[in-house]
Chain A
């Protein structure tokens, strides 16, 4: 079983739609959580950190459920520019390294 699992998609949604991605992690000692975005042939970049109480940044909302060991990302009012791969990322306990999910591909259609 992978340590961080995501639905690979692809998710194809029309502009203006709301789309949600989930990610599950296997290690209950996980300490910090992130969503990264990766455009085609580019490097991953931080989209947002995920805090215990949930957090919002404009059209993006991240939630953490420690009891069920999953995190989610909600994108409202999708734009064409949101088309990318979204990577769920977890850091275990005192580990220095981040563990990545395989990513979920999103395409927003005109």
Chain B
């Protein structure tokens, strides 16, 4: 069974803090993704990575950065958290290929106060 694990289910951080969200997958997938999910807006792609040390911007990268130093781990960094970054953050991974599905972690609900 594919397992994508996010380090925290719930996080509360203060405005201006640097926040790290960690994601680990155990299926040797090449692709990893960070999405945020907000009511009425659905899932929006923040960043994705298709290989170690490779990253590409998604639809809403502003205010975020990512790191992929090892194949199994993909980190999302909020350089200076703001209240509009309060959201559900979902990590996903998928193997290479046009017809492959993505597998999601359980999500991290981040509240910035």
Contacts and interface: CB of A to CB of B under 8 A. Distances in A.
B: contact size bracket: 20 to 34
Interface stretch (A11-19, A38-46, A69-77): A38-46
B74 interface: no
B42 A42 contact: no
Contacts of B43: 44, 87, 100
Interface residues of A, number: 21
A43 B33 contact: no
Contacts of B105: 43
B41 A102 contact: yes
Interface string A58-92: 00000000000000000000000000000100010
Contacts of B98: 31-32, 91, 94
Interface string B53-86: 0000010000000000000000000000000000
Interface of B: 31, 33, 35, 40-43, 45, 48, 50, 58, 90, 94, 96, 98-99, 101-107
Interface of A: 8, 31-32, 34, 42-46, 49, 87, 91, 94, 96-103
